[in-house]
A and B are shown apart, each in its own frame.
Chain A
Amino acid sequence: TQLLEQSPQFLSIQEGENLTVYCNSSSVFSSLQWYRQEPGEGPVLLVTVVTGGEVKKLKRLTFQFGDARKDSSLHITAAQPGDTGLYLCAGDRAGGTSYGKLTFGQGTILTVHP
């Protein structure tokens, strides 16, 4: 069973549309990160959220951490073809030293058509 459930797995939209990707768990996380990965490359960190209820904005991307620190969402406004890629959420479990043992969701493949 996946500790972090990410949905949807695939998203195909037109340029200009809005979208939301969800990352849910029954476990509490000390922090949650969102990465973006392009074909042939490693994931690149977009943002880290650490406080329950926290909202962070990165241009047209809005990230939210749930109040109970068990879930997170990524919202993209007016998507552009350059947003196309694989989006991954990753969390480190609460309690004790994390030691970087990230748990990843399955990923969301986003395709934005011109």
Chain B
Amino acid sequence: NAGVTQTPKFQVLKTGQSMTLQCAQDMNHEYMSWYRQDPGMGLRLIHYSVGAGITDQGEVPNGYNVSRSTTEDFPLRLLSAAPSQTSVYFCASSYYVLSTEAFFGQGTRLTVV
């Protein structure tokens, strides 16, 4: 089973550039989310989705956009990259709305210079 697949694994961007981090899951999970991981801060929720066509903001949404056109895919868009967005990004999915046990992708290490 592929589980949760994130691409790319590594990315370097220049300040002001835009890009999309891809996330796909093959477990038919309703719930998907994006986190960023910074040293000493654990994981912080950026955006989440409880199903196709439904998204909402998490703890640190500024500078990021998401959409959920299918159950499988949940891309994260950086509109105009800033050095403060240098981080490791994780996509996660869960079985049901009422279950929070998350399955994570392998992460995307993003550096903004």
Kindly state the interface size class of chain A when it binds its partner: 20 to 34
Residue contact A88 to B45, C-beta cutoff 8 Å: no
Residue contact B97 to A88, C-beta cutoff 8 Å: no
Point out the residues of chain A lying under 8 angstroms from B98, CB to CB. 97-98
A99 and B97 in contact, given A41-B107, A42-B90 (Cβ under 8 angstroms) = yes
The CA-CA distance from A106 to B37 in the complex, in Å, is 10
Residues of A within 8 A of B (CB): 2, 4, 6, 9, 30-31, 33, 40-45, 48, 88, 90, 92, 97-102, 104-107
Can you sample 16 A-B contacts with CB below 8 Å? Answer: A30-B100, A33-B100, A40-B107, A41-B106, A42-B106, A44-B104, A45-B102, A88-B42, A97-B98, A100-B92, A101-B33, A102-B102, A104-B44, A105-B42, A107-B40, A107-B42
Across chains A and B, which 8 residue pairs bring their CB atoms closest together, nearest first? A42-B104, A104-B42, A104-B43, A100-B31, A92-B100, A100-B94, A100-B100, A106-B42
